[in-house]
Chains A and B, each alone.
Chain A
């Protein structure tokens, strides 16, 4: 055993998580390059690769840089120290960016043009009439909001904001002097980046920074403009808060937010034909390393493509909009509590609508029998109906406890506002837990009914966010199972600072119990396989990078357990390696919806168990967060959950399968009917509604149900 153990944890059997993440971005980029997709969908995918990369730099690269500065050189699970990682990342990201822009300019721009949309890459390409139009636009809309900043001996180099797009220029005084001055102007984020201009044939758009560059002379009237070029920087944005010392977490985060724009510069993007002197100056002032400079052959910050997707018209170039379908359990006139009492309900978003969840809280806020509503909130949408319902509930005299996680990355500012509002409305608001992020998604409604207290619980894999619920694939369980209700009460008691319950019935919580539970369940399969009994694991997660879990999976594979993993993003496990993981398959599905649900299947010698939860197989989820894993108990729902997994395993359209050499390849479909998991779910959800409606239709049942008075 001992010798085996060491093999399972050897660094060479692991993939570095950052590089694996970049592979994920590559897979999204591949979608952008897939000519079989509607053109505008491809724009969207390209935009996503860009915004993903931004976040990657701000968080992951930034923290690696911090490690290097701090002299921390401990290798990661793949045996790479921070410096080596940064080097590898730099290489791979440069390649990725190259591919992004070649996709943009060689494939997408020509295709758009063919379809009647011209992107004017440089202001020099404008016709005279177009030029006149943009100049007028500049004078009326842009000029008033600009703040040009020149640098000289009396004016220091200005602060360049994180993620902001700027134009740098070199100036020379008109009358005499060889002195070359540096100047800068920020491309205002309050104005739309894309400007549509009247065009003689088809439609045409130009980017704001091009319009500004064309008119830059008007900003520096007494100067000659020698050169001008847009650039963009990324700063270290990872929050490291010392909570023990922070008297008031709320204040601390507000302070940190202001500081965020001041972090060290870690990436500079600049147009590839920029003037050498501009580049040199920026490099010096921002103190940035050559490896961190990206020379871009196209417009900076491709996230504007998301706005482009939103252009009116072009509907024939977009995937038809899918309307989330109601879950058949709600196709009746009963209220939501009655429907839950009929049996547990498993929701599969976005195929099935998120409305029941919002409705659940809304109804609870008004129901006179409801005593209390308790909920954890991680990320909420702007103008969230859930927040409004919680506030209303407090108004109606219900006891409302809300745990608002202030540390939800990049959402802090948003969350602080909501939290304050809820507190004003009379809710009991808990601002997170010291040292832990609360990532679990759970809602508890306590209701005093005719036959006693009954608890209704919603457990989910995704956030209580009605707008992302239309784009993320997630699962949610509505139940009034008394034992789950008991556990849910205990969860909120723990979140309020009380001792752990004496025992749990069904829920498993991180950071205390979850890791051990997963390990036990994996090992149970291993033991079953060794004893020649049925053993299998299917797990769908967003990331897999926990060493212990991976080692246990390797061990299980060696014992003969068939393991099928559906991992959207980071996967530090190597699949299909003889003598290590030959029974493990890994696939990643990248589709129109963001795969987000976490589902776990364990064969358990013929008595299968299916769990869902908020946790990925990552150390941060298992050790530093409050997460909940919940079982699916009812047979019908188990079948539904298993079906979700099976369809994903059958997917041969959008699935990328991890090869033993570490690359991801799409499946060779020759001779097979194409199966797209997300499409299948869309169709099935629609069919389920049709079926339910038909079976309730008296014409089909051939039985008339008379309506009589009750007595």
Chain B
């Protein structure tokens, strides 16, 4: 049959959700069914650090039902992911095993940056609107139950992104411990949010001009449900939002339940959520708020559809990952000329060696990022730059990279200068060998090998220098890295210089 049925499952902090999609060749994803069950996993995790047995039991029951529904739709494939509540739960691996045994569903815990990246893919599904909006300075605020993600787009590409532990459920949890009347409570939230956002503003926003704010995440969907007639997919001006906000904070819980037709659980989350959006609007000075009304499951489905080549984005997400890394390298004052050169060499090596390393497009991207970031440790310490680079990379979120991928890059960068630890896996070894060589090729930081040509012949990787220049430093450095390179690939890099006449 021409169509495929796909199920996306999101084990979130407040809800377990399954959405069934129909994917029909021509870039069309149609939502067919959506099942949501409220289960506050986050409350357990954020308060006690693990998820209690009762909730695990309930979750397994619900996922078991999901499995049946999937069967009834005869789904072709599914992806199940778990986010912050499970990620942070100490007993998460036990729970995953429980789920696998009891329901047969394989749930994968995804990192925050992967999660956000999926959301962006979901937004990008709304092609036309998305492309138009990100032409101007745009911020995306993804407020979920556990945390929020702020990302900045500039001229069509993602420039930076930051996760702030400021989710509505988490805020609620903090507030539950203080006793205050509604008014103080709200100003308390405002202050907390403001503090967190201040740092972001200083570090990232500077004098960037933000025109648009894209609001995604669970809570905003409920905010637009009142009778004011705003629907998903709509744009709201900042003034309108402020008006709405003032109306909301003057309402009692009952009134909120009534106006938004939500239950008490959700109603309690409305004010913290509205506060966050209001503060973000104020901080960024955005004039317009766009609510595309997407959910994580949409992102999972979009990602899946892309992977089976049923969907093609106009927006290039690899570029986003690269831009984010470049910005990071800029922040740590890396020598941009050198970086660019190493990146170029790394790609040359990768492409020339294609037959011998057997790696794919994703690894090519990772190598590129490693090249971009290979120097960032010097910002902290010149002496111990490798260790510092490792720590910087490990503690900076790079949108679109899984935790594992980031770890790989950090290790490759560390091994660039340090001795290679053979406990690392083979992929790390291959990437390290290539990065080392690329770095050596611009040892002088003078781009002397710019435009060189690389060919593999007779178990040698010949690096043909373009111009008769003094390549003493490079030659020495390449020779120094050649043993390791040969050890990994069985091919020895050799610098070939045209004779001077």
Contact = CB atoms under 8 A, between A and B. Distances in A.
Interface of A: 371-372, 398-399, 446, 448, 450-453, 489-490, 493, 496-499, 501-503, 512-513
10 contacts: A371-B73, A399-B68, A450-B2, A451-B2, A452-B3, A453-B22, A489-B33, A499-B38, A503-B232, A512-B261
A502 B297 CA distance: 14
Contacts of B231: 503
Given A399-B72, A451-B24, A493-B33, A499 B261 contact: no
Contacts of B68: 399
B30 interface: yes
B373 to A, nearest CB: 40
Contacts of A448: 1, 5, 74
B22 A452 contact: yes
B36 interface: yes
Given A498-B35, A498-B37, A512-B261, A372 B72 contact: yes
A451 B293 CA distance: 26
A507 to B, nearest CB: 14
Contacts of A453: 3, 5, 22, 30, 32, 73
B15 A499 contact: yes
Contacts of A496: 65
A501 B32 CA distance: 12
A398 B73 CA distance: 10
B98 to A, nearest CB: 21
Nearest to B65: A496
B34 interface: yes
B72 A513 contact: no
Contacts of A502: 34, 221, 225, 232, 293
B184 to A, nearest CB: 32
A485 to B, nearest CB: 9
Given A451-B3, A451-B24, A452-B22, A498 B32 contact: no
Nearest to A428: B68
A367 to B, nearest CB: 14
Nearest to A400: B72
A493 B225 contact: no
A136 B489 CA distance: 112
Interface in B54-88: 65, 68-69, 71-74
Contacts of A450: 1-2
A670 to B, nearest CB: 51
A503 B72 contact: no
A503 to B, nearest CB: 7
A368 to B, nearest CB: 12
Interface in B95-126: none
A512 to B, nearest CB: 7
Contact of A371 (B3, B65, B74, B293): B74
A544 B199 CA distance: 61
A208 to B, nearest CB: 54
> Which of B5, B72, B225, B232: most chain A Cβ within 10 A?
B72
Contacts of A371: 72-74
Contacts, number: 56
Q: Which of B34, B69, B231 has the most CB of A within 10 A?
A: B34
Nearest to B15: A499
Closest 4 CB pairs of A and B: A399-B72, A499-B36, A452-B3, A498-B35
Given A399-B72, A501-B34, 18 more contacts: A371-B72, A372-B73, A399-B71, A448-B5, A450-B1, A453-B32, A490-B34, A493-B33, A493-B35, A498-B35, A498-B37, A499-B15, A499-B36, A499-B37, A503-B225, A503-B232, A512-B261, A513-B261
Nearest to A499: B36
Contacts of A493: 33-35
Nearest to B34: A501
B295 to A, nearest CB: 8
Contacts of A501: 34
Contacts of A398: 72
A436 to B, nearest CB: 15
A501 B221 CA distance: 11
Contacts of B72: 371-372, 398-399, 446
Contacts of A489: 32-33
A390 to B, nearest CB: 15
Contacts of A451: 2-3, 24
B217 to A, nearest CB: 13
Interface string B402-431: 000000000000000000000000000000
Contacts of B30: 452-453
Contacts of A446: 72-73
Nearest to A513: B261
Contacts of B33: 489, 493
A512 B263 CA distance: 11
A453 B23 CA distance: 10
B58 to A, nearest CB: 11
A446 B5 CA distance: 13
Contacts of B261: 512-513
Nearest to B18: A498
Nearest to B218: A502
A411 to B, nearest CB: 29
Nearest to B23: A452
A429 B190 CA distance: 48
Contacts of B69: 399
A453 B4 CA distance: 10
B49 to A, nearest CB: 27
Nearest to A489: B33
Interface string B27-60: 0001011111110000000000000000000000
Interface string B11-30: 00001000000101000001
Contacts of A497: 37
B74 to A, nearest CB: 7
Contacts of B1: 448, 450
A498 B63 CA distance: 12
A398 B71 CA distance: 10
Interface in B285-314: 293
B399 to A, nearest CB: 26
A489 B35 CA distance: 10
A493 B30 CA distance: 18
Contacts of A399: 68-69, 71-72
Nearest to B69: A399
Contacts of A499: 15, 36-38
A453 B36 CA distance: 20
A322 B22 CA distance: 46
A448 B22 CA distance: 10
A683 B34 CA distance: 45
A502 B31 CA distance: 13
B411 to A, nearest CB: 43
Nearest to A520: B227
A448 B232 CA distance: 28
Nearest to A401: B72
Interface in B419-449: none
Contacts of A490: 34
A497 B38 CA distance: 10
A451 B232 CA distance: 27
Interface string B128-164: 0000000000000000000000000000000000000
Contacts of A372: 72-73
A515 B148 CA distance: 37
Interface in B255-269: 261
Contacts of A498: 35-37
Nearest to B21: A453
Contacts of B225: 502-503
Contacts of B221: 502
A371 B20 CA distance: 14
B428 to A, nearest CB: 44
A475 B347 CA distance: 70
Nearest to B262: A500
Nearest to B20: A453
A497 B69 CA distance: 14
A196 B261 CA distance: 63
* Most chain B CB neighbours (cut-off 10 Å) among A398, A450, A502: A502
